[in-house]
Chain A
């Protein structure tokens, strides 16, 4: 075959434009998030100056940390193409278990460890159902959510379980003016982002989410990876249970009410995580959690009622999932 320089040039410029397009596609997601943040800040600055009160900002950070940890758990599950609707209810139940243990005199540290293990155990059941029994994640975790909130209400009789002050003091210990949960949030965000981006398991995670069949041909232990993500999200729900219980001073079934899952999903999706698997990062979800918390806070300061606020957040998820879907089609 003979090539003249023109054909070669044409072919090169064509390839270049394709590459550029794909590069842009990747950046697009980040740009959208940044634009949303700037817009929100501008609107807030004009309409709700009270927002920038340092005390309010600190509050937002603390609230973001609990939502963010759950969103990170959800992100790992999303990356493999799954979903875990049971996170908030698992969070509530493990918090309740920890609180009951402390009320009956168990050492707070041991109680906290058991709380995390309880969350991880429920995650393991979800994980086994999805990876070994090939059940549909949506159904399994929806049912698990139902079971968990049922158990929570049942063992507490809908009465909150108060935790000792010593426990609250430990968990909410302040360093440089910010309580411990904020640091835990930052550390876990960093670790899980590193895990996803730079390690073997992380690479496998994305591979499984993008193409399960190809992953199996490459001898990737796909089932084990999927199982692990549910254990991870369950354990993080446990961690969140500890932090939230301390913040509220008590643990109760309402901590994990079903509208919390909406916030968790919104945080991940707004943070650029694809519900179709293979795209996104824990860092994105963490930022998404901050955005959602800010939104909640602003709606609150503007005295928007609970129900219209739900409508706004629901629409927000639909818009972001639509964007995600639209990008995939292209």
Chain B
């Protein structure tokens, strides 16, 4: 057995309420590319942030050539030769391409003057290598997302780096740029460099990488050389096999009880002409890869993001009738993807978090004074019904575990009792038992007559909960499938996005 160039050994990291990484061992060899796969929140970013010195792990060590090293800051990481190509653009828009590439290490002559000639020369070389047609003197703000991504990559290629981490580099590249990137990575491998490649597109794994490692819920669930693992197995590893609450065959199949119809929903450049109908008590799954438009459409439906056009109908006395989006949206609750960012009020109490969407119904008659006893009563009721583990309803929500935080958000909407509830990744980052509990709650509220739109990256969760699937791809609905469709077909349709890489979208 070869000694790996880089070994991250038994890494563990805990965040409040969530075990982000648990006993993760990750090896990478020289002259090879290893793919790091996993669904959202699986721990990929946390693991790479540990390597990049952004997060310090609770447990575990990092070794290079068998020697334990200390990475405490991003500076340590770059001194060791670890280069990180970020997915989110960390570029300075008002500076030029070459300034951005050299920002952390300007070449200076006579200890004081920045040597722009050297910068221009080295920068041109890197841009040529990448097949990039921009000039070193271009300003970042004038570039499209594809070119910006290439500048990020160029920055990593400049120094004396040995380990290159690419975090979904192709998601904003055109086909031509992507081919150039593949060539550059091949060249890096030929020169004996180590490449860590994070992606959602599985065909890229086979095109670029020699080995693969799959994370799920903070643990390594599989890996090996690409000859050993097959694509369909990779998907299964990523999305999980854990059987959770299965509704069995008692699905809603009736299409005669529509509650909401959305038509010609469009947001330019994001999604186009989305049409669908939601039925009473139905759990409708929005299925697709990240960036396929599933979350974006959901946010457009509830009005969290602006849309360019939309027509909506809502059921009134059993009949669908046209209504203004505002009227319809009043009946929709939304559990957002990132509960800490746009879900919870972290420094507020459980009680206040739970009543926040329902305050209009909690005020005393003919005044705007909040009826505290009514508020307490409702809070107690839902803490009890959802089995939320708290010591006191005045407990600050920040101190709860992820599962209990999510239940607080569910409780918030159940208090309102909306006819439609959209849930975006409601079980993300939760442990297995919390996941199962949330799934049980989802089934129960659907049974009680609430219509649900469910978004999840985990296929088993979708398979076991949804009555119907809308498959999203590149901002369009490409299939409308009833329960009973095979898992392979769903996975295949979503993975169809692999073949078509977004063409360069120059704004």
Which residues of A are at the interface with B, using a C-beta cutoff of 8 A? 1, 15-16, 18-19, 22, 198-201, 203-204, 206-207, 210-211, 213-220, 278-279
Q: Mark B309-340, 1 if CB is under 8 A from A, else 0.
A: 00000000000000000000110001010000
Contact check: which of A18, A203, A217 meets B304 at CB < 8 Å? A217
| Chain B 359-382: CB-based contact to A (< 8 A → 1; otherwise 0) | 110010001111010000000000
A15 CB contact (under 8 Å) in B345, B346, B348, B399: B399
Asked if B342 and A199 sit within 8 Å, CB to CB, the answer is no
Which of chain B's residues have a CB closer than 8 A to the CB of A201? 368
CB-based contact B369/A214 at 8 Å: no
**Within the assembled complex, what's the spacing in Å between the Cα atoms of A201 and B352?**
14
A217 touches B347 (CB 8 A): no
How far apart are B384's CB and chain A's nearest CB, in angstroms? 19
The answer to whether A213 and B399 touch across the interface, beta carbons within 8 angstroms, is no
Asked if B110 is at the interface (CB within 8 A of a chain A CB), the reply is no
A207 vs B341: C-alpha distance when bound (angstroms): 13
B346 & A219 in contact (Cβ 8 Å cutoff): no
The interface residues of chain A, by DSSP majority, are classed as helix
Can you name 23 A-B pairs with beta carbons within 8 Å?
A18-B399, A19-B396, A19-B399, A22-B396, A198-B369, A199-B363, A200-B359, A200-B370, A203-B359, A207-B356, A210-B346, A210-B347, A211-B342, A211-B346, A213-B341, A213-B342, A214-B343, A214-B345, A214-B356, A216-B304, A217-B304, A217-B343, A219-B357
Q: By the criterion CB–CB under 8 Å, are B342 and A214 in contact?
A: yes
- With CB as the reference atom, state the residue of chain A lying closest to B299: A217
Q: Report the nearest B residue to A279, measured CB to CB.
A: B347
**B369 neighbours in A (Cβ, 8 Å):** 198-200
A263 to chain B, nearest CB (A): 28
The answer to whether A216 touches B352 (Cβ under 8 A) is no
**Chain A contacts of B336 at CB under 8 A?**
217
Determine the residue in chain A with the shortest Cβ distance to B412.
A218
Residues in A whose Cβ lies below 8 Å from that of B372:
198
* 5 other A-B residue contacts (CB within 8 Å) besides A199-B367, A207-B348, A219-B329: A19-B392, A199-B370, A206-B348, A210-B346, A216-B342
Residues of A within 8 A of B433 (CB): 1
Count B-side interface residues using an 8 Å CB cutoff. Answer: 31
Total contacts A-B at CB 8 Å: 69
Point out residues on B near A: beta carbons under 8 Å.
304, 329-330, 334, 336, 341-348, 352, 356-357, 359-360, 363, 367-370, 372, 391-392, 395-396, 399, 412, 433
User: Contacts of A214 on B, CB cut-off 8 Å?
Assistant: 342-345, 356
Chain B neighbourhood of A22, CB < 8 A: 396, 399
Q: Contacts A199-B368, A200-B370, A217-B304 known; A211 to B344 CB distance under 8 Å?
A: yes
Query: Could you tell me the distance between the alpha carbons of A198 and B368 in the complex, rounded to whole angstroms?
Result: 9
B329: chain A residues at CB < 8 Å are 219
What's the Cα separation between A113 and B348 when bound, in Å? Answer: 39
A212 closest partner in B (C-beta): B342
Chain A residues near B395: list those with CB within 8 A. Answer: 19
Q: Is the CB of B370 within 8 A of A203?
A: yes
Bound Cα distance from A15 to B357, whole angstroms: 27
Q: For A1, A203, A207, which residue has the most chain B Cβ atoms within 10 angstroms?
A: A203
- Measured in the bound complex, the distance between the Cα atoms of B17 and A18 in whole Å is 13
CA distance A199 to B372 in the complex (A): 10
Chain A residue with minimal CB distance to B352?
A203
B400 to chain A, nearest CB (A): 9
- How near does chain B come to A127, taking the closest CB pair, in angstroms? 20
Query: How far, in angstroms, from A215 to B357 measured CA to CA in the complex?
Result: 8
Chain A positions within 8 Å of B412 at CB level: 218
The answer to whether B399 touches A218, judged by C-beta atoms less than 8 angstroms apart, is no
- Across the interface, do B334 and A217 meet the contact criterion of CB distance under 8 Å? yes
